[in-house]
Each structure stands twice: as C-alpha cells, then as structure tokens.
C-alpha cells in the first residue's frame, strides 16, 4: 500500500522545468501548464514490461484497448498482499481477515470516488465488464423484461454488449433494436429517437467504441431513454482508462468496466448501479456472502453490495485495482486527457500521410483508439509485419462483427494508445506501416 506521502510524489511525473516560470500566480495557471507536461518517459519507468525487446526490436505496445500494462505499484501491491496480508474477507474474526476485509472495502471507496458514485454500496465487484453486463441481463431479465419489450443497443457495440441481451431476448421474447452508425463512426441519433418508444425497457451502449474510438454522447442518450422510462446501461470498459467518468453527472443507471484495461489486474471488474435499482434487482449468483439467512424453505439475501457478490471474490485483484486507481489519480485525468488528445492528433496526422492508408471511422469525438486499413492488404498481413518489428497492434474484427459488416470489411488494424505511449512510438508505427506497404507491394 502506498502511503499518501508517496502518492504526492506524482508531481515528479510532471516535468519540473515546465513549472519554473516565476509568473505563475494562480493554481489554475499552474495546472494548465502541468496538463501539457505529463512526461511519458518518467511514466514508462513505472511499467517494467515496456522495457524489453520483441523480435529484436524495442517493444512498441499499441494494444491497450485489448488490455493495458501494469505499473510496478500494482504488481507490488498484489505480491505484498499474498506475501503478508492474504486471508478470506467478510468472514473471519481473526486479525488478518479483518485487515484484508478493511483494505478490500477501501478499494470500493476508491472506485466510488473515481466514478463519483453517490454511495460505496453502489459499487459491485465482478470479474469484468462482460460479467457485469451478464449480471444485468440476467437479473433485469427476471425482474424487468417481458415479451414484447424492447432493448436498444448500438451498431458499434462489443459482442459482450450484444450477446447477453440477445440471450435475454431469446428467453423472454423481447426484441433487440439497433442504433445505426454513420460512415464516420458516429451514432445516428435521429434513428435512435425513432427506435425509442414506450416499449423500450433498456438502452445499453458503449461509452467509447473499442474499435473506432468514438466517444458516445451519453448525456443525450441517457436523457432520451429516461424520457421513455427506459433504464440505461453503459459499457465503460474503453472509457475509464482514458477519461474521467462521473456517473451522477451522466445520470446513467448502470455503468460497467474492467480493471485490466485500466492498469489493474485481470479478473476484476465493476458494476455500478443506482442504489434503488440495485435494491430492486434480484441476485445473480447464489452462494456464500450474498445471504443474510439461509433455511431450506427460504433464503434472505444480504444487503448491497454483498447481495451481488456470491463466493470468495478476487481479493488480490481488488487490491491491485485499488493501486491502479491510486496511480491514475496521481497522474490526474486532466493530464491524461490532455496528453492523449495531443498524442491522438499527432498519430492521426501522421497516419493520414501514409499512401493508401484508410482510417475506419473519423468520429466527432475520439478516444486514443485508431482503426485503419492499408490499401487492399489484409489486416493480418499488416499486423504480422508490424509484429516482426516489435509493434503490438490488434488485427481482426475486435469482437465487433456487426460493425465490420456495417463497413463491409472483415477487420481492421487497430492501434490503441495509452499515456505511456510516445510520439516516437507513433513514428515507429508509421515507419513500420511504410515497411509493410513496401513489402506487401
């Protein structure tokens, strides 16, 4: 566990030379300068995995959309937990269990603060975004959906925000409706208006598209859904690593995300839900921890958040998530957003300069995720040649096959960046693509 003193050392990530201007009088001015000055080379030193060669070249890791790397603070927290602190939580009367419980519950508080939820018990720990959405589809399916109801998703959704709802529709006789995407990768909001009606029960959309980087206009989507009395579920897996999220401001009913895409360990995720809605929702998994009293005649369920947390959770993963949140907050979302905005515009400008390169989607608002095709070449060919040069990108349909169908393509090459990526790495990517272009002919 890092002490608060250590956390304050985050200032070292911000280049001190930038703050030497004596004219700085207000905090606001100082912040503006700090925003431009997040130093990726200092940050990179916190991520041991980045310092290695792959296929004889320095690793350029541009597959953050699939999973981000982990800072040493996260890795150390997990080791320390297993070396000194492990015990089952919410159970024992002994000291270790008590301490582990306390620390695990502290993480819930950190998550609450990170997304500005109103209460800690609105934060449910799951295995990841996929499980969070499945939990909702299952529990809402038993309490809020019946034949003839309608569920709306968008055309750019990840399969994990399509298939759980399809399963629910098959079981309940509800209908799945789809908000189309335009040529640039923006949602067609006019069509959304037409899809909404008094039969709409759930609207479930991404905050950020994992394939195109599109940032969806959530406030508008939420407001219109609520006007029809529908609940709104947000898949925030691709947003939390890049931007500050305020669930109260968004006014969404549920928000789901994964630890492993936000610099934490795999196997942990979050489901946020509004208190009254979670209280109404029937449990998902049954087991230990989620009950208050069990008899063979009837079981009374535990209160929030435990009602949805059956069995021993991924305690170490939760601790690691806590360290990841500390890390993000020490950097500051403002700094991360400003840095990535600059990196994105540099990358877009450089990529557009490559002959025959076609960007897939140029949305109005874009997170640090870029999909492209190179001439007529198959994405897997481009990806293989980039891989030979130590550049990790993702190729394929990115678990968004309906979106690929929308653009009439089988897949894309996707470069997804994080705050530890640099403009130099963009240059290496560009040179790597040029090499692929000349080799593939």
> Would you name the residues annotated as active-site residues?
399
Q: In angstroms, what is the minimal distance from the CB of 377 to another protein?
A: 7
Pairing of strands 200-206, 231-235: parallel
C-alpha 233/C-alpha 252 separation (Å) is 7
Q: Which of 313, 379 has the CB closer to another protein? A: 379
Q: In angstroms, what is the minimal distance from the CB of 63 to another protein?
A: 13
Nearest to 360 by CA among 392, 382, 389, 337: 382
Q: Which of 34, 386 has the CB closer to another protein? A: 386
Q: In angstroms, what is the minimal distance from the CB of 396 to another protein?
A: 5
Nearest to 151 by CA among 198, 108, 200: 200
**Which parts of 207-268 are beta strand (E)?**
231-235, 254-258
Distances in Å between the Cα of 47 and the Cα atoms of 76, 139, 297, 302, 366 are 12, 38, 53, 39, 25
- Residues in the site for another protein, rule: CB under 8 A? 55, 377-381, 384-385, 387-388, 395-396, 410-411, 435, 439-441
Helix (H) and strand (E) counts for the chain?
16, 17
β-strand partners of 107: none
Q: Which of 265, 411 has the CB closer to another protein? A: 411
Q: In angstroms, what is the minimal distance from the CB of 384 to another protein?
A: 5
Distances in Å between the Cα of 152 and the Cα atoms of 106, 161, 174, 236 are 35, 11, 11, 17
Q: In angstroms, what is the minimal distance from the CB of 54 to another protein?
A: 11
Length, in residues, of the chain: 441
């Amino acid at each position: 566990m890092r002490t608060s003193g250590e956390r304050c050392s985050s200032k070292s990530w911000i280049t001190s030379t930038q703050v030497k201007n004596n004219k700085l009088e207000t905090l606001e001015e100082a912040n503006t300068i700090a925003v431009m000055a997040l130093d990726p080379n200092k940050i990179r030193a916190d991520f041991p995995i980045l310092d290695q060669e792959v296929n004889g070249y320095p690793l350029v890791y541009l597959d953050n959309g699939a999973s981000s790397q982990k800072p040493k603070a996260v890795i150390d927290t997990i080791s320390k937990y297993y070396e000194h602190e492990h015990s089952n939580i919410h159970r024992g009367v002994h000291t270790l269990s008590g301490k582990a419980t306390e620390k695990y519950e502290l993480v819930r508080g950190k998550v609450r603060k990170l997304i500005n939820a109103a209460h800690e018990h609105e934060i449910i720990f799951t295995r990841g975004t996929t499980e969070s959405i499945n939990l909702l589809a299952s529990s809402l399916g038993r309490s809020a959906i019946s034949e003839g109801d309608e569920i709306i998703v968008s055309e750019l959704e990840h399969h994990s925000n399509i298939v759980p709802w399809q399963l629910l529709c098959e079981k309940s006789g509800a209908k799945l409706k789809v908000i189309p995407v335009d040529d640039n990768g923006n949602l067609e909001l006019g069509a959304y208006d037409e899809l909404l009606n008094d039969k709409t029960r759930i609207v479930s959309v991404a905050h950020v598209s994992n394939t195109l980087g599109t940032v969806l206009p959530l406030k508008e989507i939420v407001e219109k859904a609520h006007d029809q009395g529908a609940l709104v579920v947000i898949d925030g897996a691709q947003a939390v690593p890049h931007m500050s999220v305020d669930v109260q401001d968004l006014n969404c009913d549920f928000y789901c995300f994964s630890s492993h895409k936000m610099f934490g360990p795999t196997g942990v995720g979050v489901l946020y839900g509004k208190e009254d809605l979670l209280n109404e929702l029937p449990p998902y998994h049954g087991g230990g921890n989620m009950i208050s009293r069990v008899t063979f005649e009837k079981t009374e369920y535990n209160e929030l958040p435990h009602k949805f947390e059956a069995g021993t959770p991924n305690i170490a993963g939760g601790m690691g998530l806590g360290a990841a949140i500390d890390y993000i907050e020490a950097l500051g979302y403002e700094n991360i957003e400003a840095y990535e905005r600059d990196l994105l515009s540099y990358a877009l400008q450089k990529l557009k300069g490559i002959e025959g390169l076609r960007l897939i989607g140029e949305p109005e608002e874009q997170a640090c995720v870029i999909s492209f095709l190179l001439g007529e070449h198959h994405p897997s060919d481009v990806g293989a040649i980039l891989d030979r040069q130590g550049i990790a990108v993702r190729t394929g349909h990115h678990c968004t096959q309906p979106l690929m169908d929308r653009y009439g393509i089988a897949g894309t090459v996707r470069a997804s960046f994080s705050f530890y990526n640099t403009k130099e790495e963009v240059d290496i990517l560009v040179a790597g693509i040029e090499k692929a272009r000349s080799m593939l002919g």
